[in-house]
Amino acid sequence: MNLRNTPSRESPIEVKRNALNNRYTNLLYEYELVNKQINETNDEVERSRLQHKAENLYSQLEEVDQELKQIDIKSSNSNLRYLNLEQDILKIDFDEIMESVDGIIRKFRQGARGDVLLLVQESLAMSGDLCIKRIQERLKQETGDFKHIEIEFSPEGCLDKIGFLEKLAEYLNVSFAKQPEKFEQEFIQMILEKICCSLQGGSILFLEVRKWDELPCEEDVFSWFMTHFWMPLVTRLEIVTQTHRRVKFIGAIVADAEFSSNYLDLPCFCPDENSPRMLPLTLRNWTVDEIQDWLECYPGLQNPRSTQLAKRIYRASKNGIPAMVCTALTRELFA
């Protein structure tokens, strides 16, 4: 049986753009050819005919160029609408989580030590990435020096503590000539030093580690991360704040799946007053009322349609699973 590769579908606007580009290329070729003929002929009647033809071709070139510009404007507006939609979706929910974040910020302002480690599970289905973005937006309001470090585990990389250090070193442009496995502590100290040297008064460092559940021994790595990386980083706060006031370290461990229940039994989950602060974030489904409230604020939607659309999206998204809601909203509003 012969199998054919199904060609990727282009949007109607891209099909039209390609057709106009081809037409423009053909017209330009004819226009240049006619002008060449004008320069080569000595016959005045023929010259006049060719000049008239060149003017007609030039008019067609202008028309096609104008159509292409209109398509670019339409495409740009569509992209802008999509970016605005993506930004606005953050406001559907996460209110309870933002209350917790605001509580931590208030404690920071009152003089509490400036560290917290956020734990986000089921990120893929529950749109944890949107929650993280909203938290980042809130933190940016607190500083003029927001530093975001983002690393992500993948099956193609090294899925252990050394893999974490190497990814972080690569992000920070830290060169380490020795073998990390044999000189782990020295490697960690170089990374911590690079981080702390980049800070200034009021800095907020946001370290986001995504796809934590890709790690085959995630509990062991988490225990190592707390003991050998995060706690030493937090310990440096006392030194850093002697020269740079109001520095904050915010970490986020993000997993697409659920964390193992054994996490709660790890020693680092039995904190004393000197232990780093940890905040597990509980993501939930979005309600039909929350979806409707958001739709009612979306430009161009009338109340009857927003009500019907909210109910339909809620049902289609299996009672408001955030990632499915986002997909449905994008499909409905950009159909």
Q: Which of 26-30, 218-222, 294-298 has the lowest mean pLDDT?
A: 294-298
Structure tokens at 236: 């440096």
Q: CATH no. for residue 135?
A: 3.40.50
Q: Are 233 and 319 members of one domain?
A: no
User: 6 in a domain, yes or no?
Assistant: no
pLDDT of residue 68: 81
Q: How confident is the model at residue 33 (pLDDT cuts 50, 70, 90)?
A: very high
Inter-residue long-range contacts of 186-195, CB under 8 Å, 24+ positions, other chains counted = 188/228, 188/229, 188/232, 191/165, 192/229, 192/232, 192/233, 192/236, 195/149, 195/233
Q: CATH no. for residue 52?
A: 1.20.58
Rounded to an integer, what distance in angstroms lies between the CA atom of residue 9 and that of residue 12? 9
Q: Are 34 and 183 members of one domain?
A: no
User: 152 in a domain, yes or no?
Assistant: yes
CB atoms within 10 A of CB 325: 26
253 pLDDT exceeds 90? yes
User: 7 in a domain, yes or no?
Assistant: no
Q: Which of 89, 112, 132 is the last residue of a domain?
A: 89
Q: Are 48 and 71 members of one domain?
A: yes
Provide the 8-state DSSP code for 230: I
Alpha-carbon Rg of the chain, whole angstroms?
29
Q: How confident is the model at residue 302 (pLDDT cuts 50, 70, 90)?
A: confident
User: 242 in a domain, yes or no?
Assistant: yes
Domain tally for the chain?
3
CB 213 within 8 A of CB 191: no
Q: How confident is the model at residue 12 (pLDDT cuts 50, 70, 90)?
A: confident
Q: Are 298 and 150 members of one domain?
A: no
pLDDT of residue 156: 85
- The larger pLDDT score, comparing residue 147 to residue 263, is at 147
Q: How confident is the model at residue 78 (pLDDT cuts 50, 70, 90)?
A: low
pLDDT tens digits, 105-138: 999 999 889 999 999 999 999 999 999 999 999 9
Q: How confident is the model at residue 274 (pLDDT cuts 50, 70, 90)?
A: low
Q: Which of 280, 298, 318 is the last residue of a domain?
A: 280
Rounded to an integer, what distance in angstroms lies between the CA atom of residue 85 and that of residue 298? 9
pLDDT of residue 193: 95
Q: Are 207 and 240 members of one domain?
A: yes
Helix (H) or strand (E) segment spanning residue 271: none
pLDDT of residue 144: 92
Q: Are 155 and 217 members of one domain?
A: yes
Q: How confident is the model at residue 272 (pLDDT cuts 50, 70, 90)?
A: low
pLDDT of residue 6: 40
Q: Are 76 and 58 members of one domain?
A: yes
pLDDT of residue 320: 94
For tokens 């974490």, the residue is: 164
Beta bridge partners of 2: none
Rounded to an integer, what distance in angstroms lies between the CA atom of residue 105 and that of residue 111? 10
What average pLDDT does the segment 177-202 reach? 92
What average pLDDT does the segment 208-230 reach? 93
Q: Are 110 and 253 members of one domain?
A: yes
Q: Are 120 and 207 members of one domain?
A: yes
Q: Residue 53 carries which side chain, given as an amino acid letter?
A: K
pLDDT of residue 1: 38
248 pLDDT exceeds 90? yes
3 pLDDT exceeds 50? no
Q: Are 81 and 107 members of one domain?
A: no
CB 106 within 8 A of CB 116: no
Q: How confident is the model at residue 177 (pLDDT cuts 50, 70, 90)?
A: confident
Q: Where are the alpha helices (DSSP H) in the chain?
A: 12-40, 44-89, 95-109, 123-126, 128-140, 161-172, 184-197, 218-224, 231-240, 288-296, 303-316, 322-333
User: 2 in a domain, yes or no?
Assistant: no
User: 22 in a domain, yes or no?
Assistant: yes
Q: Which of 7-21, 57-71, 319-333 has the lowest mean pLDDT?
A: 7-21
Q: How confident is the model at residue 335 (pLDDT cuts 50, 70, 90)?
A: low
Rounded to an integer, what distance in angstroms lies between the CA atom of residue 105 and that of residue 176? 36
The domain in which residue 206 lies consists of: 98-280
Rounded to an integer, what distance in angstroms lies between the CA atom of residue 174 and that of residue 198? 13
User: 3 in a domain, yes or no?
Assistant: no
pLDDT of residue 157: 84
What average pLDDT does the segment 279-300 reach? 89
User: 190 in a domain, yes or no?
Assistant: yes
Beta bridge partners of 250: 116, 206
Helix (H) or strand (E) segment spanning residue 207: strand 204-210
CB 115 within 8 A of CB 241: no
Q: Which of 61, 89, 117 is the last residue of a domain?
A: 89
Q: Are 143 and 235 members of one domain?
A: yes
State pTM to two decimals: 0.73
Q: Are 70 and 134 members of one domain?
A: no
pLDDT tens digits, 80-107: 454 456 667 877 889 999 999 999 999 9
